[in-house]
Amino acid sequence: MLHRAHRGLDYHGDWAWGSPSGCRLRGEAVEACAQRELLEETGLNLEPALLLDDERWPEFVVEVPPGAEVRLSAEHNGYRWVDLDSATNLIKPERVPAQLRRAAGARH
């Protein structure tokens, strides 16, 4: 979960915390976008796996090795590893918690 820097450390409203996400560059493959955004936002150079192939909002999942070093971009000022229930209570809109539940189910 990443905290939004532009709202300040004490901000706890909607979208204060969320999973890494981003927008594709013109002509960029969606898989390349997911990997680039993860690297830019967290410093994690991992290869995300496609979970749901939705043309408008594809979903990816990545398993982060224990002890992996996170280096946040300037748009975030904090991160925290949380369990699934905590994650789904922290973020909105409802489609994002649903995505996290799907991703968690895909790991097992």
- Phi and psi dihedrals of 3, rounded to 5? -100, 140
Asked if pLDDT for residue 15 goes beyond 80, the answer is no
Residue at token pair 């909002």: 57
Helix (H) or strand (E) holding 2: strand 2-4
pLDDT in tens, 59-77: 888 989 999 999 999 989 9
Report residue 28 as tokens.
């960029």
pLDDT in tens, 18-64: 888 888 899 999 999 999 999 999 999 999 998 888 877 888 889 89
Domain of residue 93: give its range.
2-106
- Phi and psi dihedrals of 36, rounded to 5? -65, -45
Band (pLDDT 50/70/90 cuts) for residue 84 is confident
pTM of the predicted model, to two decimals?
0.78
Whole-number pLDDT of residue 91: 77
Q: Domain holding 65: CATH number?
A: 3.90.79.10
The whole-angstrom separation of Cα 74 and Cα 82 is 21
Domain tally, the chain:
1
